[in-house]
Amino acid sequence: MDTEIFLKSERCKGCGICVAFCPKKVLQLDTLGHCSVVRPDDCIACGQCELRCPDYAIFVDKKVYA
């Protein structure tokens, strides 16, 4: 999928909500407990992660080609 996932890591508290609700297991908490993108290619841009993140730390855009 042509998507881009952005993380504002300074806002992420590692609650794991995005990880739990991602239908494609794109996300995982890293060793420091922050959200990280582990399977970017599987992302279907469903927006679940962004919708549910209580800390506005993750954003998903469809890729725009100039």
Partner 1 sequence: MQERTYEKYFRQNRLPHIWCPGCGNGTVMKAIVEAVEKRKLPRDKTVIVSGIGCSSRASGYMDFDTLHTAHGRAIPFATGIKLANPELNVIVITGDGDCTAIGGNHFIHGARRNIDLTVVLFNNAIYGMTGGQASPMTPLHKKATTAPYGSVDRPFDACQLASAAGASYVARSTAFHVQHLTDMIAEGISVEGFSFIEAVVQCPTAYGRKNKMPEPAQMMAWLRDHAVLQKAWDKLPEEKRSDKFPIGVFLKRQFEEYTKAYAEVIASAQGGKK
Contact call for residue 14 and ligand SF4 (CB under 6 A): yes
Contact call for residue 36 and ligand SF4 (CB under 6 A): no
Question: Considering beta carbons, is residue 42 or 59 the nearer one to partner 1?
Answer: 59
Which two structure tokens, joined as six digits, stand for 20? 């739990």
Task: Name every residue whose Cβ is closer than 8 Å to that of residue 31 and which is 6 or more positions away in sequence.
Answer: none
The binder of partner 1 chosen from 1, 14, 28, 42 (CB under 8 A)? 14
Q: Alpha carbon 10 to chain centroid distance? A: 14
Do residues 50 and 60 lie in contact, with contact meaning Cβ atoms separated by under 8 Å? Answer: yes
The binder of ligand SF4 chosen from 4, 28, 45, 59 (CB under 6 A)? 45
